Each structure stands twice: as C-alpha cells, then as structure tokens.
C-alpha cells in the first residue's frame, strides 16, 4: 500500500526552471509533516537546490535527494516504489515523460504533471489507463495553467447547476486578461510537438480533434474556433486562444470519465477577448495573426531555425519580478438545460490568478495537486484522469486557500 511508502511526495525535475519554483513553494507552504524528496538526473545540481531550500526552511538541509533519469526505467521504478505521489516538471513530456508515467501506473503511484501535449496524453491513456486502474494509481496530466482553470472552472459550473437540479449543457471560456512570460522549456515542448506533427498526418488529425482524449472514440458536435468575431454576450471582440488546443480536450475527457454529467452533446469553446470597438477588433486581429505566424514558423525546420535566437533556452524564464507582476482573469459562461420548456439558467464562472500564469500560478497549481493526491481523502476512480475527475472540489478548495479565485455568479 502507498501509505507505507518512504515518501508522501517526490518532485522530479527539481533542478529545472519550473521545478525550482515548485520546490520553493513546497518549502514555504507544505505541512511540516510532509515526507518529501527532490529528484532528477544531476546529483550536483540537486544538492544546489537542496542548499537553496535550506535557506527557506532550515530543516530541508536534510531533504533526501534521489537520482533518476527519464530514459532509465530501472531508476524511475526505484523512485516510484518509494513514493505515494510523483510530481514532474520534466518536459517535453513526449520525450521525457513516457517512462515515468508508465512506471507510476505500474507501481500504483499517483502522478501529476504540467503537460499540454495532446499526443503524449493520448499515448499515456492507451498505455497506462487500464494498468493504473488495476494498480490503484491516479495519473493526472495537465495540472498547471494547462488545464486546471478550464477543467475546474467548468466543473464549478456543473456543480452550480446540479445544486439547482439542472444540467450544464454549454460553456464558453474567455481569457479576459493575462500577463506572463514563457520559459525555454515551454517553447521547447511546443516546437517539439509541431516538428513531430509536420511529419505525421495521423498526429495532425489527433491534434485537430476536440475529442482526441475521449474514451472509445466518442464524438460530439464541437469544433475548434479559428476566427476573429464579436461576442455579444460579453460585448467584446474575441480571437483564438492558444491553449484551447489542450484545454478543450481535457474538459471533454472529464465529461466522459464522469459519465457525461454535462451531456453527450455538451458544447465547449475557448477564446481570448480583446475589448470592444475598433481597438478591440484591431487587437483581436493582431493576436490571431501573431498566433498563426508563430504556429507556421514552429511547423517548419527553417521557421524553427529563424525563431530560435529570439526565445529563451530551456532552464530560462521570467524573472521573480515578472512572475509577481503577472496575473490572469478568465470568465466561463455556462448554460443549463431547459426541462419542460422552462428557460435555461445562465451563470458565469470566474477563475483568477495573482501571479504569472505559466510559472507563478502553475507552480502553485502543480504543488497543490500533488499535495491533494498525497494527503487528502479522495474517493475518485483510478486510471489516467483529469484534475476535475481525480480531485474535483478538494483541489478547488486548496487552490482557493492558496489565493486563486473560483467563483460562480448567476446571470440575470
């Protein structure tokens, strides 16, 4: 049983940019009783992280250091056998996450990561879901800004309507404001994915499918949004949102794994709002054009060569000042069913974060997800899950205590 294991939590990738942020958060916020360790492939760098943690919390001068390599399965198995939960920040996950996720599924070890890579998650489902169900592991992908605000935001709408004996049938996500930077690791994940997709037609089809992570190839009516348009419900112009390509897939998987409480015809979309009037239209057009240009360059070898000097290298990212100045504000408009001819109910879910979304808030989200898996009494299923399915309201409560906003307001 995992209760008898040496560690409650092991942080894998503690020497990377995001890994250090997660380690620092745990040093400041984890309960004193938590038995945790840091892990990675470079013992010297891990000792350096250990010294930094000891300056935050002196007792961490004796924290255990575990050496394992992403491509060395026996070393990963040795770590998985000793941990109740492994949280990993080592990407691109399609390169460095396969064996760790598989090892955790094999040994009944809960797992959380930050991936936004649909092909990696699809492979993990196919490879690990049944194995994890048998071993008792919860394998939870996308436990950061990809895709907790979307997944748990929609889940709060579902719970709001369920309390009124109604069913959520449609949700429309709008990123209303965001300020944050990108690290070299995030860009490396994106370019790795686009490079692979440029060579593989089946991979391109998977990445274009909003239902690519749903069991048994079940399909609904949704399609991705690719245009600039005016949205009358919020009175603003909207354009495509970069992270919709992962978040929508995760939300649809939650609906399926929960037994379709949102309905099999559930509609879900994600867009970015850019303001009203001519200025809002101009911003929407500029953002859409920039996104298209970035994806085009990332899809070709020559394009990747051109943009490489202009983005940070792996291990680099926003400064502490930039992370503290960051934030995000998300609104998700939910609509209920309309039984017996009654009008549908409408509600807004607001999800806000107070730090850089991809690093400050993501470090909090991954840390709290890992702590939830390690310490909270959960009655959720096992397998390759989503944050909403694995942790639901318990993780929402943790994130609220950590400073995030999850709020539902009825629309009149």
Q: Beta-strand (E) ranges in 180-284?
A: 229-231, 236-240, 267-275
Domain interval for residue 121: 2-144+363-390
pLDDT band at 198 (very low <50, low <70, confident <90, very high): confident
Same domain flag for 268 and 383? no
Task: With CA atoms as reference, report the closest residue to 374 among 385, 366, 386.
Answer: 366
pLDDT band at 290 (very low <50, low <70, confident <90, very high): confident
Tell the burial category of 392 from Cβ atoms under 10 Å away from its Cβ (0-12, 13-18, 19+).
buried
Q: Order of strands, edge to edge, in the sheet holding 383-385?
A: 64-67, 36-40, 7-12, 83-88, 110-112, 138-140, 383-385
pLDDT at 171 over 80: yes
Q: For residues 29 and 55, is the Cβ–Cβ distance under 8 A? A: no
Span 371-387, mean pLDDT?
97
Element housing 67 (H / E): strand 64-67
pLDDT tens per residue across span 14-39: 999 999 999 999 999 999 999 999 99
In the numeric block, which tokens belong to residue 97? 């996450």
How far apart (Å, rounded) are the C-alpha atoms in residues 170 and 172? 7
pLDDT at 110 over 70: yes
Which SS3 state, helix, strand or coil, does residue 63 take?
A: coil
Same domain flag for 161 and 286? yes
Which residues, in sequence order, are bridge partners of residue 277?
none
Same domain flag for 270 and 379? no
Same domain flag for 261 and 400? yes
50-59, 181-190, 216-225, 262-271: range with lowest mean pLDDT: 181-190
| Beta pairing class for 36-40 and 7-12 | parallel
Is-above-0.95 flag for pTM? no
How far apart (Å, rounded) are the C-alpha atoms in residues 77 and 102? 9
Same domain flag for 132 and 186? no
Span 333-355, mean pLDDT?
96
Same domain flag for 30 and 167? no
pLDDT at 133 over 70: yes
Residue 85 has a pLDDT of: 98
Share of the chain residues as helix, strand and coil, in percent rounded to the nearest 5? 50, 20, 30
Same domain flag for 110 and 160? no
pLDDT at 229 over 60: yes
Angle between helices 392-401 and 148-162 (to 10 degrees): 110
Q: For residues 14 and 26, is the Cβ–Cβ distance under 8 A? A: no
Q: Domain tally for the chain?
A: 2
| Gap between the terminal Cα atoms of the chain | 50
Same domain flag for 194 and 336? yes
pLDDT at 348 over 70: yes
Residue 36 has a pLDDT of: 98
Residue 313 has a pLDDT of: 58
pLDDT at 194 over 80: no
Distances (CA, A) of 400 to 70, 152, 269, 315: 33, 12, 25, 29
pLDDT at 233 over 60: yes
- Bond into 147 cis (ω within 30): yes
Residue 220 has a pLDDT of: 80
Taken in order 134, 137, 138, 143, is the CA torsion positive or negative? negative
Same domain flag for 71 and 192? no
pLDDT band at 84 (very low <50, low <70, confident <90, very high): very high
Same domain flag for 13 and 71? yes
Residue 187 has a pLDDT of: 64
CATH code of the domain in which 87 resides: 3.40.50.720
Same domain flag for 278 and 399? yes
Alpha helices in 235-315 (DSSP H): 244-257, 277-298, 301-307
How far apart (Å, rounded) are the C-alpha atoms in residues 285 and 79? 48
How far apart (Å, rounded) are the C-alpha atoms in residues 195 and 253? 25
pLDDT at 157 over 70: yes
Same domain flag for 163 and 117? no
How far apart (Å, rounded) are the C-alpha atoms in residues 182 and 190? 11
């Amino acid at each position: 049983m995992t209760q008898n294991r040496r560690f409650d939590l092991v942080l894998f990738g503690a020497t990377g940019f995001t890994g250090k942020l997660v380690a620092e958060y745990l040093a400041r916020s984890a309960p004193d009783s938590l038995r945790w360790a840091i892990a990675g492939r470079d013992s010297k760098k891990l000792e350096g992280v250990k010294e930094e943690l000891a300056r935050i919390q002196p007792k961490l001068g004796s924290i255990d250091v575990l050496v394992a390599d992403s491509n060395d399965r026996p070393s990963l198995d040795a770590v998985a056998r000793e941990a109740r939960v492994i949280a990993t920040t080592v990407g691109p996950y399609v390169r460095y996450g396969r064996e760790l996720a598989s090892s955790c599924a094999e040994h009944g070890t809960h797992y959380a990561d930050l991936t936004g890579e649909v092909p990696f998650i699809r492979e993990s489902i196919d490879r690990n879901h049944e194995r994890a169900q048998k071993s008792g592991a919860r394998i939870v992908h996308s436990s950061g800004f990809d895709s907790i605000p979307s997944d748990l935001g929609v889940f709060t709408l579902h719970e709001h309507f369920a309390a009124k004996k109604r069913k959520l049938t449609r949700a429309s996500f709008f990123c209303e404001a965001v300020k944050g930077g990108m690290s070299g690791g995030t860009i490396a994940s994106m370019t790795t994915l686009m490079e692979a997709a440029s060579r593989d037609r089946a991979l391109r089809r998977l990445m274009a499918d909003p239902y690519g992570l749903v069991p048994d190839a079940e399909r609904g009516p949704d399609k991705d949004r690719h245009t600039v348009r005016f949205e009358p419900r919020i009175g603003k112009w909207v354009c495509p949102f970069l992270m919709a390509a992962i978040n929508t897939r995760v939300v649809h998987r939650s609906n399926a794994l929960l037994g379709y409480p949102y309905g099999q015809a559930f509609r879900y979309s994600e867009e970015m709002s850019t303001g009203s009037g001519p200025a809002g239209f101009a911003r929407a057009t500029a953002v859409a054009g920039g996104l298209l240009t970035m994806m085009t360059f990332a899809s070709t070898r020559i394009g990747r060569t051109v943009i490489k000097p202009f983005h940070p290298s792996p291990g680099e990212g926003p400064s502490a000042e930039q992370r503290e100045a960051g934030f995000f504000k998300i609104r998700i408009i939910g609509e209920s069913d309309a039984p017996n001819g009654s009008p549908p109910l409408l509600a807004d879910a607001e999800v806000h974060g107070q730090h850089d979304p991809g690093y400050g808030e993501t470090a909090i989200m991954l840390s709290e997800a890992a702590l939830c898996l390690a310490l909270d009494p959960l009655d959720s299923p096992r397998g390759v899950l989503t944050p909403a399915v694995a942790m639901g309201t318990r993780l929402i409560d943790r994130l609220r205590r950590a400073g995030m906003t999850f709020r539902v307001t009825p629309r009149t």
